[in-house]
């Protein structure tokens, strides 16, 4: 057997695999002997079937199977031994004159080679690293939210500012009948608010859905419709008032502190505000880090230039999935996935050049932190180590979940690396301004 590689250019190559009869005949003969021993053919005692008959019946299929096994094994070994960094999988070249009647075979495979390039982390245009702070206004709102959450519900005779109104929205044409609770401050504009002010239980208010709430998502929840259905929705609805309630704010005292954070954790309003600030800025940091990783990714893709074996990849995409694609479909799919492929190559280069690795022990610890955070959301703050280990084992036994956590761990390591090796432009702002600037 002989295997050779011919480079077409820097990104494309052809591997030729020559298989002669001597490479597979002994194996085929051994299998045929084993078939003869087991063959159960009427008219012959078991093990006494003439070899010629066994060859005629099974010889060709066994030979084809063994040649294909040999071909796949030798090609895989060649790619490993030659340390070829390929994209996609080798594509067999069709041969018009190929025949399984021959004894010697020549197989050819097209390869798409990964490009050679360098990653420059010295950003010419500085990437923004956001430092999101919890400002005084946000902290005051959070304190009030806590007071509301633990406050007392007080019925009100008529609608006034600050109340919550429960009632049923109806539109017969759209078959909408939805009981909802809305906050007065979520109603948009003085015209709409005037329709509510002074109304009592049993009153029916005629409204228009367009511009009814300060946020369309409030309309989505109030009417029980999905996002597509409420987009641009402009219909009349009636709203029949069933309850009017206000929340009497809880007093800021030790009883409230203990309810929110546990006995003795917080002992004053100043400590309450400090704890809210600490918790909020931890959440903000997670969002800021994700945005930083997104921005670095975008920068590297835009500024790391290299060619791809595009035509090869389009041909590979056409046959790689469960359903074959037309050339047009494959070309469209390549356009969609090119950016992700480029970053995948860049990420791999950064990881390799800087010896950034993960092992199973690290993945277990990362998964343990993930599970603990999930349990904390449901009030389980101090799970037993044995219980935690059992849950982590179950999580990691799920291949999809293990892969997702592995990707998160790699992203975390890359983020740390980028923070240490890229000079950023630091920008401090509150959460509202961050959302406006980043999400436009």
pLDDT digits (tens), the chain, 440 positions: 899 999 999 999 999 999 999 999 999 999 988 888 777 777 777 777 788 887 888 889 999 999 999 999 999 999 999 999 999 999 999 888 889 988 899 999 999 999 999 999 988 889 999 999 999 999 999 999 999 999 999 999 999 999 999 999 999 999 999 999 999 999 999 999 999 999 999 999 999 999 999 888 899 999 999 888 888 889 999 999 999 999 999 999 999 999 998 899 999 999 999 999 999 999 999 999 999 999 999 999 999 999 999 999 999 999 988 899 999 999 999 999 999 999 999 999 999 999 999 999 999 999 999 998 888 777 776 788 888 899 999 999 999 999 999 999 999 999 999 999 999 999 999 999 999 999 87
Residue ranges of E strands in 10-58: 12-19
Contacts 24+ apart (CB under 8 A), 278-281: 280/134, 280/138, 280/139, 280/142, 280/431, 281/132, 281/133, 281/134
φ/ψ bin of 13: left (φ > 0), alpha (ψ from -120 to 50), beta (otherwise): beta
Distance CA 132, CA 280 (A): 9
Last residue of a domain, one of 219, 248, 277: 248
Please check whether residue 434 lies inside any domain of the structure.
yes
Distance CA 304, CA 335 (A): 18
Question: Are 182 and 193 within 8 A, CB to CB?
Answer: no
Please check whether residue 314 lies inside any domain of the structure.
no
Distance CA 164, CA 215 (A): 16
235/376 same-domain check: no
Domain that holds residue 167: 152-248
Q: How big is the CA angle at 434 (ends 431 and 437), to the nearest 5 degrees?
A: 155
373/412 same-domain check: yes
227/300 same-domain check: no
For residue 133, how many other CB atoms are within 10 A of its CB? 17
Find the Cα–Cα–Cα–Cα dihedral 297, 299, 302, 304, rounded to 10°.
Answer: -80
| Confidence at residue 56, expressed as pLDDT on a 0 to 100 scale | 83
Please check whether residue 17 lies inside any domain of the structure.
yes
Please check whether residue 93 lies inside any domain of the structure.
yes
Report the predicted TM-score, pTM, of the whole model to 2 decimal places.
Answer: 0.75
Last residue of a domain, one of 230, 248, 266: 248
277/300 same-domain check: yes
CATH label of the domain that carries residue 192? 3.10.50.30
167/202 same-domain check: yes
CA nearest to 233, candidates 207, 205, 208, 206: 208
CA nearest to 438, candidates 334, 338, 336, 294: 294
Please check whether residue 337 lies inside any domain of the structure.
no
232/275 same-domain check: no
> Would you mind telling me the total number of residues written for the chain in this entry?
440
Question: How many domains does the chain fold into?
Answer: 3
CA nearest to 102, candidates 26, 20, 22: 20
DSSP 289: H
What Å distances lie between residue 35 and 42, 51, 61, 103, 229, CA to CA?
15, 9, 13, 21, 66
69/90 same-domain check: yes
Distance CA 277, CA 259 (A): 18
Last residue of a domain, one of 211, 229, 248: 248
Distance CA 411, CA 73 (A): 34
CATH label of the domain that carries residue 107? 3.30.70.1050
| Confidence at residue 125, expressed as pLDDT on a 0 to 100 scale | 86
Please check whether residue 383 lies inside any domain of the structure.
yes
Distance CA 24, CA 78 (A): 18
273/237 same-domain check: no
179/84 same-domain check: no
68/174 same-domain check: no
* 3-class DSSP state of 329: helix
Please check whether residue 125 lies inside any domain of the structure.
no
Distance CA 306, CA 24 (A): 42
For residue 326, how many other CB atoms are within 10 A of its CB? 9
How many angstroms separate the first and last alpha carbons of the chain?
Answer: 62
Please check whether residue 217 lies inside any domain of the structure.
yes
98/173 same-domain check: no
244/264 same-domain check: no
Distance of CA 309 to the CA centre of its chain: 26
């Amino acid at each position: 057997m002989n295997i050779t590689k011919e480079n077409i250019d820097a990104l494309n190559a052809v591997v030729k695999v020559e298989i002669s009869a001597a490479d597979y005949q002994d194996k085929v003969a051994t299998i045929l002997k084993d078939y003869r021993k087991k063959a159960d053919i009427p008219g012959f005692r078991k093990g006494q079937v003439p070899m010629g008959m066994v060859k005629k019946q099974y010889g060709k299929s066994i030979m084809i199977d063994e040649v294909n096994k040999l071909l796949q094994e030798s090609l895989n070994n060649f790619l490993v031994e030659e340390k070829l960094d390929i994209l996609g999988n080798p594509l067999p070249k069709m041969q018009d004159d190929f025949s399984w009647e021959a004894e010697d075979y020549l197989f050819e495979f097209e390869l798409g080679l990964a490009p050679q390039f360098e990653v420059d982390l010295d950003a010419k245009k500085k990437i923004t690293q956001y430092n999101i702070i919890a400002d005084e206004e946000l902290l005051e709102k959070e304190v009030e939210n806590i007071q509301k959450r633990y406050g007392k519900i007080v019925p009100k005779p008529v609608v006034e500012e600050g109340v919550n109104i429960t009632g049923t929205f109806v539109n017969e044409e759209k078959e909408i009948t939805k009981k909802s609770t809305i906050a007065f401050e979520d109603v948009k504009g003085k015209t709409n608010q005037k329709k509510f002010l002074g109304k009592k239980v049993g009153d029916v208010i005629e409204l228009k859905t367009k511009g009814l709430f300060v946020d369309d998502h409030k309309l989505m929840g109030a009417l029980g419709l999905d996002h597509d259905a409420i987009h641009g929705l402009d219909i009349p609805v009636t709203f029949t008032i069933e309850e009017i309630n206000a929340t009497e704010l809880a007093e800021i005292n030790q009883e409230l502190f203990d309810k929110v954070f546990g006995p003795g954790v917080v002992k004053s309003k100043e400590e309450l505000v400090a704890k809210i600030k600490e918790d909020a800025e931890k959440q903000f940091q997670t969002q800021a880090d994700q945005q930083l990783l997104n921005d670095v990714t975008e920068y590297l893709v835009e500024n790391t230039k290299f060619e791809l074996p595009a035509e090869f990849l389009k041909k590979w995409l056409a046959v790689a999935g469960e359903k074959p694609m037309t050339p047009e479909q494959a070309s469209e799919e390549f356009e969609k996935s090119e950016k992700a492929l480029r970053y995948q190559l860049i990420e791999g280069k950064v990881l390799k050049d800087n010896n950034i690795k993960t092992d199973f022990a690290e993945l277990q610890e990362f998964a343990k932190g993930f599970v603990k955070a999930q349990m904390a959301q449901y009030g389980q703050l101090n799970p037993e180590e044995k219980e935690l280990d059992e849950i982590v084992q179950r999580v990691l036994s799920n291949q999809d979940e293990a892969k997702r956590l592995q990707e998160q761990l790699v992203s975390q390591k890359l983020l740390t690396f980028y923070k240490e090796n890229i000079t950023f432009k630091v920008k401090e702002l509150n959460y509202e301004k961050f959302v406006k600037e980043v999400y436009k």
